[in-house]
Amino acid sequence: MIGFIKLLSRNRLSLAGLVVIILVIFTALITPILPISDPDVIDTKNRFKTPFTTDALLGTDHLGRDLMSRLLWGTRLSLAVGFCAACIAALIGSALGIIAGFYASRVDNIIMRGIDMLMAFPYILLALAIVAALGPGLFNALIAVAIVNIPFFARNIRGVTLGITHKEYIDAARLSGMTDTRIIITEVLPNVFPVIVIAMSTTVGWMILETAGLSFLGLGSQPPQADLGSMLGEARAALITSPYTSVVPGAMILIIVMAINLLGDGIRDALDPRLKSGVLSSPRPRTLVANYNEAKNLDRSELLSVSKLRTQFHIGKQNYKAVDGVSIYAKKGACLGIIGESGSGKSVTALSIMGLVSSPPGIITGGYVNYKGSNLIHTNDQELQSLRGNKISYVFQDPLSSLHPLYTVQKQLEEAIKAHQPVSQEEVYQRSIELLKSVRIPNPEQRAKDYPHQLSGGMRQRVNIAMALANDPEIIIADEPTTALDVTVQAQILSLFRELTRERGLAIIFITHDFGVVSQICDEVAVMYAGKIVEYGPSEMILNHPAHPYTSRLIGCVPELGKGKRELASIDGLPPMVDRLGHGCAFAPRCEKTISECLNNDIKLKNINANTQVRCLKPEIHL
C-alpha cells in the first residue's frame, strides 16, 4: 500500500486528485452529523438569497432551501449512486467478460453478440429508454447507468482474459485437476483484477456525470430529494437572475469528476507493471551523458576502442555502478570476448558504446569511445544514428523478441538496408536474398516470405545476423547471441561468426558467459566482474593460464568431455550488488586468497606480461 502511494505520488496531479476526492468523500460521510439545516425545508420568504448574506452560507434556491445543505446531501447521494453504478457495471461486466474470454467459442459468441446489441444504441439514449421503461427515480437511473456501462467492462476484460487463457500456467492448473471455477478464481481473476480496478477508476467519473444527466432531465432523483444533477436542473430557470444556484452544484460536479479522472490516470500508471520499474517517462533516443569531456587527440588508426567507460543507473537515491572504468579494444578481423557472470555489466558496456542504454535511469559519467578518431559518447545524434546498424551493428540474445512478429523476414531485412542505403526495390530484394544466403539459410527465396514464428530458433538468429550484416558493418557487437540456442545450432552460429571475421575482416565483440564459446571463437578476452575488467589478454593464454582467481574459478566451472568424472566446481556466493561496492577487490569475499590489502585499497589493472593485464594483488604469474 505504501509502495502504491509512493508510485502514485510521482504523478503530482493524481495525488492532488486523491486528496480532493478523500476530502469530498469524508465530507459526504460526516454530512449527517454536521450542524446544517434540513435540505428539504422550504422557506419561500427567503428565496434566492445570495451567498454569505444570511445564515445560509451559499445562499438559498428558488424555494428558499439552504443551498449549502442541499449541496452536501446532494454530493453524498451522487457519489453513492455513481460508485454503486460503477460497482454493479464492473461486477456484471467483468463476470461476463471473464466467462466469454475463458470459455471462448460459442459462449463467447452469444455473450459478445448480446453486448454488441447493447453497444449498438447511443448510451445516453439507451439509458433514457431504460428509465422510461422502469419509471423515473434515482434507483432506476442507477440501474440504467450501470447497464449502459456493462459493455465497456465486458469488452475490456474479455480481451485480457482471452490473452491469459492460453498461457502455460492455466494449462498447468488444468492438468493439476482444478475445476474451471477454481481456475477462474485463483488464476484468471488475480490477473485481470488490476484491469478491473483501472477501468473502474476511469469510469466512476462518467457514471456520476451520467446519473447527474438523468437527474437533470428529471428522470433521476425526484423532488424534494437533492442530488447534484437535480439541483442543476432546478436551477436552470434562474440561470440568468441567480447564477450561483447553478454554479454551486456545477462546480462540485466539475471538482469531483476532475479529481476522479486525475486519480484514475495515476492509478492506471501505478498499477501498470511495465511502468512500475521505470520512471513514468519514455526513454531518450540516446543515453544521457554527464557533463564531462576527457577525450583528447583520439587515434584515427584505431577501429574501435572504449576507454575508462563508466555507466551508472541513478534510481532514487541509489547509484548502481554497472560499468566502472572499462577499457577494451576491437581489432579488424578479430573477435574480442567479454565474459562474466550474469549482472557483471557486459550488456551495459556493449549498449553504452552506441548510446543504447535506456535513460532514465542510465547515465554515462566517464570515459570515451573512439571510433576512427571520433568520440561516440559526445558525437551529435545524426552521426550516431548514421552509424547504428550501419558500420556498427548489434545481435541480441533472444532472436524472437528482436524480430517484429507481424512482418516477414524479407520486409525486415529490406528495412534494415533501406535505413542506410538509397537503393531500388529490385536491388534491395536481391540484397536481402544474398544476405540470407550469406548466413547459410537454405532456400532463401522461400524463407524470406516467412514470418519470424515460422522459423526455428537457429534460423531466427541467422536472420538477426543477416540484418546486422545488411550494411556491411565493420563491427558487430553480439550480446550472448547463442545463449538461447541448443549446442548444435550454437556451433553453427559460432562458425558463421568465425567465417565473417576471416572473410570480411569484421571486428566482433562477443559477449558470453561461457568459456567454451570463448575458446571456440575469441582471439582476445576480457573477464568482467562487478562492472570492472579483472583480466584482459589473448584468449589462449587466459584459458590455459588464468591469472586472476575469478577467471580460474570460472574456467573450473566448465565441464570437459572425455576427461573422466570429476566434481564440477562452482563459485560460492553471489556477485555483489553494484550499488554498494566498497573499496578493494569486489571478488575478495568469494576468493580463497584474500589478504587484508585486498579489502582496503583500489586495485589497479596491471600488466603481468606484454599482452595480459590482471586486477589482482596475488595473480598466478604467467610465463
- Contacts with Mg ion, residue ranges (CB under 5 A): 347
Q: Establish whether the linkage from the previous residue to 224 is cis, with ω within 30° of 0.
A: yes
> Of the candidates 578, 588, 591, 616, which one interacts with ligand ADP according to CB under 6 A?
578
519 interacts with, out of ligand ADP, Mg ion, none, CB within 5 to 8 A per kind: none
21 interacts with, out of Mg ion, ligand ADP, none, CB within 5 to 8 A per kind: none
From the CB of 342, what's the least distance to ligand ADP, in Å? Answer: 4
If the CB atoms of residues 251 and 574 are measured against ligand ADP, the closer one turns out to be: 574
Residue 241, Ramachandran bin (φ over 0: left; ψ between -120 and 50: alpha; else beta): alpha
If the CB atoms of residues 148 and 322 are measured against Mg ion, the closer one turns out to be: 322
578 interacts with, out of Mg ion, ligand ADP, none, CB within 5 to 8 A per kind: ligand ADP
Number of residues that bind ligand ADP (CB under 6 A): 15
Per-residue b or e along 233-242, where b marks 16 or more CB atoms closer than 10 Å to that residue's CB: bbbeebeeeb
What DSSP element (H or E) covers 328?
Answer: strand 318-330
Contact flag: residue 145 with ligand ADP (CB under 6 A): no
From the CB of 65, what's the least distance to ligand ADP, in Å? Answer: 60
If the CB atoms of residues 62 and 314 are measured against ligand ADP, the closer one turns out to be: 314
CB 289 within 8 A of CB 368: no
Q: Mind spelling out the 3-state secondary structure of 398-452?
A: CCCCCCCCCCCHHHHHHHHHHCCCCCCHHHHHHHHHHHHHHCCCCCHHHHCCCCH
From the CB of 322, what's the least distance to ligand ADP, in Å? Answer: 3
From the CB of 478, what's the least distance to ligand ADP, in Å? Answer: 12
Cα-based distances in Å from 588 to 403, 535, 574, 620 = 41, 15, 12, 16
Site string for ligand ADP, 354-383 (x = CB under 6 A): ----x--x----------------------
CA–CA dist 505, 233 (Å, integer): 81
If the CB atoms of residues 347 and 482 are measured against Mg ion, the closer one turns out to be: 347
CA–CA dist 378, 384 (Å, integer): 9
Residue with cell 548466413: 439
If the CB atoms of residues 360 and 538 are measured against ligand ADP, the closer one turns out to be: 360
Site string for ligand ADP, 273-312 (x = CB under 6 A): ----------------------------------------
Alpha-carbon Rg of the chain, whole angstroms? Answer: 34
From the CB of 501, what's the least distance to ligand ADP, in Å? Answer: 22
Contact flag: residue 165 with ligand ADP (CB under 6 A): no
Residue with cell 540470407: 436
322 interacts with, out of Mg ion, ligand ADP, none, CB within 5 to 8 A per kind: ligand ADP
CB 145 within 8 A of CB 214: yes
What DSSP element (H or E) covers 61?
Answer: none
CB 414 within 8 A of CB 448: no
If the CB atoms of residues 224 and 360 are measured against ligand ADP, the closer one turns out to be: 360
If the CB atoms of residues 350 and 413 are measured against Mg ion, the closer one turns out to be: 350
Footprint on residues 324-353 left by ligand ADP (CB under 6 A) = 340, 342-348
CA–CA dist 328, 307 (Å, integer): 7
From the CB of 344, what's the least distance to ligand ADP, in Å? Answer: 4
From the CB of 4, what's the least distance to ligand ADP, in Å? Answer: 21
Contact flag: residue 322 with ligand ADP (CB under 6 A): yes
If the CB atoms of residues 18 and 350 are measured against Mg ion, the closer one turns out to be: 350
Q: What is the residue type of 267?
A: I
If one counts every other C-beta atom within 10 angstroms of the C-beta of residue 353, the result is 23
Q: How many CA atoms lie within 13 A of 210 on its CB side?
A: 29
From the CB of 341, what's the least distance to Mg ion, in Å? Answer: 10
Q: Establish whether the linkage from the previous residue to 589 is cis, with ω within 30° of 0.
A: no
CA–CA dist 261, 255 (Å, integer): 10
From the CB of 349, what's the least distance to ligand ADP, in Å? Answer: 7
CB 563 within 8 A of CB 573: no
If the CB atoms of residues 152 and 313 are measured against ligand ADP, the closer one turns out to be: 313
Binding residues vs ligand ADP (CB under 6 A): 313, 315, 320, 322, 340, 342-348, 358, 361, 578
